[in-house]
Structure 1
Amino acid sequence: MSEPITARTVFATLETALTLSWVGGQAGAEQVLRTANETDFAWVGRLNWIQPARIQILGAEEFNFLQSLDNAEREMLISRLLTAPTSAVLVCGDSAYALQLQAAADQVKVPLWYTPEQPSTALEWLIDYQRSQGPSTLVHGELLEVFGLGVLITGASGTGKSELALELISRGHRLIADDTPQLMRVAPNVLEGTCPPALRDFLEVRGLGILNIRRMFGDSAIKRNKRVRLIVRLVRAEEMELPAELRLHGARVSREILTVHVPQLSLPIAAGRNLAVLLECAVRDHIQRLQGYYADQELTDRLQQEMTRSCA
């Protein structure tokens, strides 16, 4: 289970990256921004009066709006801004904006931070931090971006996962992680994969050793992270039974990782099979399925129509 995240924790983590200053509300340093049970809670966002985030981000646009109000309306909105569920306020751009809220933040003990960065930059850093705090796990396999789709290649040792990854990279696809991709649940139904920092850019191929993919193929051959949309499991042909019905629809199941269900396709491997072409076709077919087209269903419909015409 994830640990609770406090205002002090977030400030310490992003202080250097965003050049943060703690302007007011220091007494609220232990404000909980996300409890241990709120792993999927979106607790950061731009100023929103309807569905306020735990960390409210304000910039010049929001302060110009506040300045356009009379004193009574402005004080009322500032009071609303600094009440639950808001646990911290981040002011971006001009430090004078933050000073306008300092007294009110001190009074209600809501942390008030300032960064010289623009709201969009601050939001990107906070969202990235929020994602990094979600549930995660390490899996055995290769993670690549194939035709824009995040594909996790799994299988027993010796099934050729690394060789397949290298072939796909040589065909213009992108490596995300070799051997031990880190998967994170960044939303209730979204699984995102990345590479542990120490292993980034490297691919281990049996017989060749360690290869630096970025140096060999260039920056375009590397992708930092990607949503996992398909799992391809490599299985030795002699170990895989393929009933007649699966020849039409494919060996497809749903695999659950961190409570997220991801489609999984099993591919039998044997001497002479071009796995790179097979995997590319599997990804193209999956993209079509995501768009609502099923080739097996179209074939079935055609055969049924032909049988109907023959019997008429």
Structure 2
Amino acid sequence: MNATLTVAGLFEALRDKLELSWLAGREGGEREILFRPNDDPGSSSLVGHLNFIHTHRIQVLGSIELAYLDGLDPDYRREAINMLFSGQTDMVLVSEGLDVPEDIQQHAREAKTPLFRSTLPSHELISHLQHFYAHSYSERIILHGVYMEVMGIGVLITGEASIGKSELALELVSRGQRLIADDTPEFARVAPDLVSGSCPSLLRDFLEVRGLGILNIRAMFGDSAIKRSKYLRLIIHLAKFSDQELNRIDRLKGSQDTHNVLGVEIPRVTLPVAPGRNLAVLVEAAARNHILRIRGYDAGEAFMERQHRHIEQDQ
């Protein structure tokens, strides 16, 4: 997808966080910063240190870059600054609160290219800008379910309507887990293998439970019961199983597969819903077990290895 934002919009969104001041080129405020993350490697990237070969839409100048320009002969310096403010550059950002030479400001005014200054170091600026762009302008999808932080990881609880997702979420919150979004969590792919989930601002803090209506989880349980966003690591799908379906579940591995979310395969565990089952405990156990799997431990494989050892000893 081609995501765009204007230079002025970026300035307003990050002015305080990045301690930005606008030095020149205000006429270019409505210029769109266009970034295609799937373009060829040789094409322009979003943001980076001064580069004349593989240009960036946002060129960052720190002490090293300004020293390089100062060391050039006047003709070469003029040519380099002309290249800096060519059509490939949407904005120029000077870091570390450094003084900006007048010829650079003059070129910014003539090219109508926004020139900003920040007190932060270059590497922090680049990191903040990449993070802002990835989270604000990535491809997005809304999935029906309740999104929570369980045992420190992002867990999406899905299932048919009225199966008890919200009641389960309420019990998990009462056990110390945290609510992110109810009903319509929004997910964005922020890296090749990372999907981040958050809550639309209109629904933030609220959970609908049939029979109780709309509950404000923050007001009831405090700020610690709410989480703004989290990387999606696990999906728990609630389903009603027949006796035959229950008998077909693998006794060692359980009911596990993956679900594709924005091109990323997310592990999914299907939990049978039945009277008397403590689903909150099962969800917490599923999250703990997933964390162990990430660390390289598989309880089913460990159990089978133990059985094999006992058989070998008996023989």
TM-score range relative to shorter protein: 0.7 to 0.9
Judge which range, 196-205 or 121-130, deviates more.
Answer: 121-130
1:91 aligns with 2:94: yes
Partner residue, 2:34:
33
**Structure 1 42/283 Cα, relative in aligned 2: closer, same or farther at 3 Å?**
farther
The 2-side partners of 1:239 and 1:124 are apart by 53
**Structure 1 42/303 Cα, relative in aligned 2: closer, same or farther at 3 Å?**
farther
Judge which range, 18-27 or 262-271, deviates more.
Answer: 18-27
Partner residue, 2:12:
15
- Check the 8 A contact 1:183/1:191 in 2, yes or no: yes
1:197 aligns with 2:198: no
Deviation digits for residues 153-189 of structure 1, max 9, x if unmatched? 0000111111111111111111110110001111122
The 1-side partners of 2:29 and 2:265 are apart by 39
The 2-side partners of 1:79 and 1:160 are apart by 63
1:136 is displaced (CA, Å) by 0.5
Partner residue, 1:47:
49
Where does the alignment leave 5 or more consecutive residues of structure 1 unmatched?
A: none
The 1-side partners of 2:163 and 2:243 are apart by 12
Deviation digits for residues 219-251 of structure 1, max 9, x if unmatched? 111111111000000112338814556121011
Normalising by structure 2, report the TM-score.
Answer: 0.82
RMSD of Structure 2 on Structure 1 (CA): 3.4
Task: Give the residue type in structure 2 aligned to 1:103.
Answer: Q
- Check the 8 A contact 2:47/2:126 in 1, yes or no: no
- Check the 8 A contact 2:21/2:117 in 1, yes or no: yes
- Check the 8 A contact 2:90/2:114 in 1, yes or no: no
Deviation digits for residues 6-60 of structure 1, max 9, x if unmatched? 6xx242343364165361395796565314855xx9944452659764323345x
The alignment partner of 2:276 has SS state of: coil
Q: Using the aligned pairs only, state the percent identity.
A: 40
Aligned equivalent of 2:186, options 182, 186, 198: 182
The alignment partner of 2:158 has SS state of: strand
The 2-side partners of 1:15 and 1:192 are apart by 24
The alignment partner of 2:242 has SS state of: helix
The 2-side partners of 1:192 and 1:55 are apart by 25
Task: Give the residue type in structure 1 aligned to 2:185.
Answer: P
The 2-side partners of 1:242 and 1:101 are apart by 71
Partner residue, 2:128:
124
Partner residue, 2:71:
70
- Check the 8 A contact 1:144/1:173 in 2, yes or no: yes
The 2-side partners of 1:240 and 1:98 are apart by 77
1:260 is displaced (CA, Å) by 1.3
Aligned equivalent of 2:143, options 139, 142, 146: 139
Partner residue, 1:5:
4
Task: Give the residue type in structure 2 aligned to 1:210.
Answer: I
**Structure 1 309/254 Cα, relative in aligned 2: closer, same or farther at 3 Å?**
same
The alignment partner of 1:248 has SS state of: coil
Partner residue, 2:273:
269
Task: Give the residue type in structure 2 aligned to 1:34.
Answer: F
1:93 is displaced (CA, Å) by 5.7
